[in-house]
Amino acid sequence: MPTLLIALLMGLAASLTQAQAQPQVSDPPARPLFWDDYRRGWHFYEDPETEAPSVKAPQKAVDKAKPQDRRAPELIEFEQLQKRLEEYRNIAIIRPSEANVRRYMELEASVVRQASYFSDVAQRVAWSTPNLDMTLEGRPVNARAIEVFDREQAQNRSSSVAALASTHVLFFFFRSDCPYCHAFAPTLEAFQARHGIQIVPISVDGGGLPNFPQYRRDNGISKTLQVTQVPAVFLAEPFTGKITPIGYGVLSEAQLLERIAIVAAPGADALVPSVTRRVSLR
C-alpha cells in the first residue's frame, strides 16, 4: 500500500513538471501605431492594413406583381383588336405582299361587320324608345311630316310676333337708290299688315320708297348700330332701348318670322351678347 501511494504521488508530480515545462501560447502583441513610435515619428507613412472583403449574401430578386387590370373584358378585347388592326395595316403598308394585305383586309372586314351589327341594334333600340329617336326631334325627314311641321312652326311664330307687336317695332334701314331695298319693301309692308308689328322705315340717304312714303331720316342711329349694308332689319323695344339685328339683305316672310322668334326667345341675349345694344330712343 505505501509503495502504491508513493508511485501515484510520483506520477502526479511528473505530470505537473511536464505541464510547467511546455510553453504557453498567447495572442500576438498588437501592432504599435507609428505615431507612438518615436523612431518613426509623425512624418512616417505606413500603408493601412488590408481587411478581408466581407462576403455579402446575394440579394434575391423581388418579383413585383403586376397590377390587375380591373377594366371590363370588352374594353380589353376592343383595345387588343385596335392594336392588332393597326399592326396588320402597318405591316401591309411596309410589306405589301398578298398574304399581308389579305390578312389586314380580312380583319378590317370583320370590324366593319361588327360595326354594322351595332348600327342595326342601335336603330332597333331607337325605334322602340321615343326619347332616343332623333328623327322625332327637330325638323322631320318625311315629306308629309315636313308639311305639318312647317305649318305648326309658322303658326307658333306668327303668334309670337303678334305678342311682340304691342312692345316692339322693326327698324328698316334703306337707301332710295338701292334696288334690293325696293324689292324688300313689299314683303315688309305685307308682314306689317299680316302680323301687326309696326315697321319703322329709316332712310340712310334721305330719299323715300313707294311702299313707305312716311319715313324717318337717319339721325345717326345707323352709325350707332354700325349699319354698313342695306337693306337691314332690327328688332327694337322702344321702352327699354334694346335693339337686336334680325338680318341684312332681302329676307322672306318665313325667315323674318323664324329670326324674330329666335331673337325674342327667353335667354337669347346670352347666346351672342355683343350684338344686342341699348340705345335711348326717347
Q: Same domain, yes or no, for 127 and 152?
A: no
Indicate if the pLDDT at residue 276 is higher than 60: yes
Q: Same domain, yes or no, for 205 and 80?
A: no
Q: Same domain, yes or no, for 181 and 129?
A: no
Q: Same domain, yes or no, for 125 and 191?
A: no
- Digit-coded pLDDT (tens) for 101-113: 999 999 999 999 9
- Digit-coded pLDDT (tens) for 78-130: 999 999 999 999 999 999 999 999 999 999 999 999 999 999 999 999 888 88
Check if the beta carbon of residue 192 is closer than 8 Å to that of residue 198.
Answer: yes
Q: First CA to last CA across the chain, in angstroms?
A: 159
Cβ atoms < 10 Å from Cβ of 21: 7
Indicate if the pLDDT at residue 210 is higher than 70: yes
Average pLDDT over residues 197-216: 92
Q: Looking at the domain assignment, is residue 248 inside a domain?
A: yes
pLDDT for residue 33: 54
pLDDT for residue 267: 80
pLDDT for residue 161: 84
Q: Same domain, yes or no, for 177 and 269?
A: yes
Q: Looking at the domain assignment, is residue 114 inside a domain?
A: yes
Indicate if the pLDDT at residue 246 is higher than 90: yes
Q: Is the pTM of this model over 0.75?
A: no
pLDDT for residue 15: 57
Mean pLDDT of all residues belonging to the chain: 81
Interatomic CA distance for residues 244 and 260, integer angstroms: 10
Average pLDDT over residues 4-16: 55
pLDDT top residue among 37 and 239? 239
Which of these three, 107, 135, 163, is where a domain ends?
135
- Digit-coded pLDDT (tens) for 167-198: 999 999 999 999 999 999 999 999 999 989 99
Residue 110: domain span: 72-135
pLDDT top residue among 51 and 107? 107
Q: Same domain, yes or no, for 191 and 272?
A: yes
Which of these three, 108, 135, 162, is where a domain ends?
135
Q: Same domain, yes or no, for 117 and 155?
A: no
pLDDT for residue 268: 77
Tell me whether residue 256 is exposed, middle or buried, using C-beta atoms within 10 angstroms of its C-beta: 0 to 12, 13 to 18, 19 or more: buried
- Digit-coded pLDDT (tens) for 134-146: 777 777 777 888 8
Cβ atoms < 10 Å from Cβ of 6: 10
Domain count, the chain: 2
- Digit-coded pLDDT (tens) for 36-46: 555 555 555 55
